[in-house]
């Protein structure tokens, strides 16, 4: 029958659950749709693979482009995050598990084994600043132990302590966040950091999400929000009901915000990098012209740095507009 098809979704393909009930025409349409999806996926995989190779060349290869110290630092801060994002998207498209090779989780030790708790606490809970530290939780790691004829488990419990001064500053951070979210234009970025994993004896990748007000706004404020992943939900949780213009890169984690009404403003530094890669590998004349125009725009912004808002707008209207047309 050619009736409605009920679909089942997974990472690799979408198939109707009533496949055995479809007639020849419906099956033909299904094959066409599947072929289109496979073509799109392969095209996307090829594109991401190319971008990943270019990013790795930038990260690990010789940097031949002449950049100012400020520009070089800006690119260095984002390249690691871009590599992680591209790798994650490739894994999702190819249907491979997102976890890295060699990082399989160890099964919990049998609950029936006898356990001995070993507590690890600081010798002193007085912070170097003079404040009393506060215990905010603990990390627990289990280790299998053996003595002749007996298996047992050591439970290592490590207390987590913070300075009370930091806890007392939280109302100030909350007030700053309220002030920041009152502005119509914000900048967002996320930077990978190494996070200690006491139970595993190693580190894993976490992220510092940064949110700032524009450079020309009367309030200078940046808030850093620590998260254990680069999932877009962290930006959604921080911004909440805010619906202004967000200056960010093209990372897919921001797309849910855009879909909910946030206006996206692209990052010029990331756009410039794409043109540079085209020029370096393809000798594109159009890419070279784009780099020249972006350099000119950077120069105009440098001249506008100390101007008042109206003068800055006039300067952009007279000198920058023609470069973007």
- In this structure, the answer to whether residues 224 and 142 fall within a common structural domain is no
- pLDDT at position 325: 79
Does the pLDDT at position 168 exceed 70?
Answer: yes
Structural domain total, the chain: 4
Q: Which domain holds residue 257?
A: 169-269
Average pLDDT over residues 198-203: 66
Which CATH number do you get for residue 236?
Answer: 3.30.420.10
Asked, for residue 174, whether it belongs to a domain, the answer is yes
Asked, for residue 276, whether it belongs to a domain, the answer is no
- pLDDT at position 100: 45
pLDDT category at 81 given cuts 50, 70, 90 is: low
Does the pLDDT at position 252 exceed 90?
Answer: no
- In this structure, the answer to whether residues 145 and 176 fall within a common structural domain is no
Asked, for residue 110, whether it belongs to a domain, the answer is no
- pLDDT at position 8: 40
- pLDDT at position 14: 55
- In this structure, the answer to whether residues 157 and 180 fall within a common structural domain is no
End position of a domain, from candidates 242, 269, 296: 269
DSSP string of 240-281?
TT--SEEEE-S-GGGHHHHHTTPEEEE-HHHHHHHHHHHHHH
Q: Which long-range contacts (CB under 8 A, 24 or more apart) does 118-123 make?
A: 118/154, 118/155, 118/156, 118/157, 119/157, 119/159, 120/156, 120/157, 120/158, 120/159, 121/159, 122/159, 122/161
- In this structure, the answer to whether residues 66 and 137 fall within a common structural domain is no
Cα→Cα distances 305→212, 220, 270, 302, 313, Å: 17, 14, 21, 5, 11
Asked, for residue 108, whether it belongs to a domain, the answer is no
Does the pLDDT at position 7 exceed 70?
Answer: no
Distance CA(281)–CA(259), nearest Å, equals: 34
- In this structure, the answer to whether residues 90 and 159 fall within a common structural domain is no
Does the pLDDT at position 184 exceed 90?
Answer: yes
pLDDT category at 106 given cuts 50, 70, 90 is: low
End position of a domain, from candidates 244, 269, 294: 269
Does the pLDDT at position 176 exceed 80?
Answer: yes
- pLDDT at position 201: 64
- In this structure, the answer to whether residues 265 and 301 fall within a common structural domain is no
Average pLDDT value over all residues in the chain: 79
- pLDDT at position 156: 93
End position of a domain, from candidates 65, 94, 123: 94
- In this structure, the answer to whether residues 192 and 237 fall within a common structural domain is yes
């Amino acid at each position: 029958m050619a009736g409605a098809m009920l679909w089942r979704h997974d990472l690799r393909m979408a198939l109707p659950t009533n496949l055995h009930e479809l007639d020849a025409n419906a099956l033909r349409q299904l094959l066409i749709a599947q072929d289109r999806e496979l073509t799109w996926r392969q095209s996307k995989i090829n594109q991401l693979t190319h971008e990943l190779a270019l990013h790795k060349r930038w990260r690990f290869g010789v940097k031949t482009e002449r950049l100012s110290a400020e520009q070089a630092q800006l690119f260095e801060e984002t390249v690691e995050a871009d590599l992680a994002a591209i790798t994650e998207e490739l894994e999702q498209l190819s249907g491979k598990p997102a976890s890295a090779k060699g990082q399989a989780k160890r099964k919990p030790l049998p609950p029936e084994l006898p356990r001995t708790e070993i507590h690890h606490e600081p010798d002193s809970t007085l912070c170097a600043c003079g404040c009393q530290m506060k215990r905010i939780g603990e990390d627990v790691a289990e280790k299998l132990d053996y003595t002749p004829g007996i298996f047992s488990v050591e439970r290592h419990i490590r207390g987590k302590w913070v300075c009370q001064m930091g806890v007392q500053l939280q109302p100030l951070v909350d007030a700053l966040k309220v002030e920041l979210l009152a502005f119509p234009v914000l900048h967002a970025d996320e930077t990978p950091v190494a996070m200690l994993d006491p139970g595993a004896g190693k580190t894993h990748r976490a992220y510092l999400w940064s949110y700032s007000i524009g450079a020309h706004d009367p309030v200078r404020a940046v808030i850093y929000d620590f998260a254990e992943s680069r999932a877009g939900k962290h930006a959604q949780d921080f911004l909440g009901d805010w619906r202004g213009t967000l200056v960010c890169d093209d990372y897919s984690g921001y797309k849910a915000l855009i879909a909910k009404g946030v206006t996206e403003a692209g990052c010029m530094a990331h756009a410039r990098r794409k043109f540079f890669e085209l020029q370096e590998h393809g000798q594109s004349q159009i890419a070279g012209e784009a780099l020249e125009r972006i350099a000119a725009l950077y120069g105009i912004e440098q001249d506008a740095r100390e101007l008042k808002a109206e003068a800055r707008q006039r300067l952009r209207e007279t000198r920058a507009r023609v470069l973007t047309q």
